[in-house]
């Protein structure tokens, strides 16, 4: 009996000892697993950090900077230069050719300038993004297709993608002469095909807004059309294409022209203290689009010319009853195309030459200059516009 109790007691001790060891083993295993997981997470974190660091180094080495400054200021500034060096200078020469019967200007240079707008924009943007020469040259085809499918903004977006992808692969292979232009062109043209229809739809929708405004009473219609087309002229979209697409003529065409003049003449005069004669000419008979980088920095500089267009639009439709043809409606003072179109339209309506001249001088030049200058000085005094906000790199 005594021996049985000793045996039973011994078994119990063994059992409790084993159970205790099992619990201890479980704790050890649990803590070991935690330590292993910690090491794995730390290693993964280090791996991700290293990968992220390598990617940043690669982007830095390729001079690819994803920022507002690079895409919406540097690229847009260069795009405006490309636009001025092709379509806008061609338009100016065309106006001179028509006025003085120089067929070489109007029949040879102008069609060529229109056809080369996309490639000119592409080369300008690629240079603004500091692309290698082979990438720059390869964007010409991309710009041509982007402009064809989506206008200047179509070329802008597709060329940015093409340039950055081209920079990524540039000088990375032994067959760079094939890979770099191949990647640049394929990426850019695919983007152009994808966004082209979307941008075209946007143009149609924006045009419909303007068309609906023309059905309203002249006062409201004048303000809406003048403001919207003027804004379109300054944005990297084609106000001329909108007006041509809609066949915007008559009173609506006249109001559109006044709105464009308010932007161009307004910015030219308001920024004279910063840009002097060069800026006056570039914006006054060129395009106000070159102010887009400054508008992105400080949108308040857009208020004076836009207010001016809202005020002068109704005066155009009710007091002076100005009209225009579709080709001139969205051009403003660019190459004086808007003014030639106004004379063509209003003379056809039986208006006197002197009457048209007075209306053009007042609503296309003098009133936009005076009103925008007044509004601009008010905003300068209250601190909304500061010295240098309108400065252009010409």
Asked, for residue 268, whether it belongs to a domain, the answer is yes
- Give me the pLDDT at residue 126, please: 95
Last residue of a domain, one of 169, 202, 235: 202
Name the domain count of the chain. Answer: 3
Asked, for residue 53, whether it belongs to a domain, the answer is no
If asked whether residues 282 and 392 sit together in one domain, one would say yes
The whole domain housing 321 covers 216-394
Question: Mean of the pLDDT values across residues 342-351?
Answer: 89
If asked whether residues 266 and 348 sit together in one domain, one would say yes
Asked, for residue 383, whether it belongs to a domain, the answer is yes
If asked whether residues 345 and 382 sit together in one domain, one would say yes
Asked, for residue 195, whether it belongs to a domain, the answer is yes
If asked whether residues 341 and 254 sit together in one domain, one would say yes
If asked whether residues 89 and 142 sit together in one domain, one would say yes
Question: Mean of the pLDDT values across residues 117-135?
Answer: 93
If asked whether residues 108 and 144 sit together in one domain, one would say yes
Give the Cα separation of 130 and 136 in Å (integer): 9
For the chain, list the strands marked E by DSSP.
Answer: none
If asked whether residues 157 and 79 sit together in one domain, one would say yes
Asked, for residue 209, whether it belongs to a domain, the answer is no
Please check the confidence at residue 203 and state whether its pLDDT lies above 80.
no
- Give me the pLDDT at residue 178, please: 94
Q: Which range is least confidently modeled, 136-140, 224-228, 325-329, 372-376?
A: 325-329
Question: Mean of the pLDDT values across residues 2-21?
Answer: 44
Asked, for residue 71, whether it belongs to a domain, the answer is yes
Give the Cα separation of 356 and 252 in Å (integer): 17
Nearest in space to 389 (alpha carbons), one of 261, 293, 247: 293
If asked whether residues 20 and 78 sit together in one domain, one would say no
Give the Cα separation of 102 and 105 in Å (integer): 6
Last residue of a domain, one of 175, 202, 229: 202
Q: Tell me the pTM.
A: 0.64
Q: Which range is least confidently modeled, 126-135, 143-152, 359-368?
A: 143-152
If asked whether residues 287 and 194 sit together in one domain, one would say no
Give the Cα separation of 373 and 305 in Å (integer): 9
């Amino acid at each position: 009996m005594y021996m049985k109790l000793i045996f039973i007691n011994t078994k119990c001790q063994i059992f409790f000892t084993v159970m205790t060891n099992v619990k201890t083993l479980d704790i050890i295993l649990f803590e070991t697993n935690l330590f292993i997981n910690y090491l794995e997470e730390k290693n993964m974190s280090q791996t991700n950090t290293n990968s992220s660091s390598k990617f940043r180094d690669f982007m830095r080495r390729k001079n690819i900077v994803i920022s507002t400054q690079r895409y919406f200021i540097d690229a847009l500034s260069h795009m405006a230069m490309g636009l001025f060096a092709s379509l806008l200078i061609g338009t100016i020469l065309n106006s001179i050719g028509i006025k003085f019967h120089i067929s070489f200007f109007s029949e040879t240079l102008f069609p060529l300038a229109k056809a080369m707008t996309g490639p000119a924009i592409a080369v300008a943007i690629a240079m603004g993004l500091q692309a290698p020469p082979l990438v720059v040259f390869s964007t010409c085809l991309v710009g041509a297709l982007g402009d064809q499918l989506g206008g200047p903004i179509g070329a802008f977006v597709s060329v940015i993608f093409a340039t950055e992808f081209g920079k990524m692969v540039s000088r990375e292979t032994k067959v760079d002469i094939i890979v770099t232009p191949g990647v640049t062109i394929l990426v850019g043209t695919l983007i152009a095909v994808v966004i082209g229809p979307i941008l075209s739809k946007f143009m149609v929708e924006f045009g419909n807004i303007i068309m609906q405004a023309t059905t309203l009473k002249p006062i409201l219609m004048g303000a809406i059309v003048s403001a919207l087309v003027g804004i379109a002229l300054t944005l990297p979209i084609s106000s001329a294409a909108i007006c041509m697409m809609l066949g915007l003529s008559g009173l609506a065409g006249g109001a559109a022209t006044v709105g464009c003049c308010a932007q161009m003449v307004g910015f030219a005069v308001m920024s004279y203290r910063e840009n002097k004669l060069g800026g006056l000419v570039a914006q006054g008979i060129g395009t106000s689009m070159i102010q887009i980088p400054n508008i992105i920095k400080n949108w308040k500089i857009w208020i004076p010319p836009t207010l001016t267009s809202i005020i002068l639009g109704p005066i155009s439709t009710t007091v002076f009853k100005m009209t225009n043809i579709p080709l001139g409606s969205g051009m403003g003072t660019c190459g004086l195309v808007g003014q030639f179109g106004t004379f063509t339209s209003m003379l056809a309506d039986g208006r006197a030459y002197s009457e048209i001249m007075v209306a053009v001088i007042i609503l296309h030049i003098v009133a936009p200059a005076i009103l925008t200058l007044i509004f601009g000085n008010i905003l300068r005094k209250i601190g909304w516009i500061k010295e240098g906000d309108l400065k252009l790199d010409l």
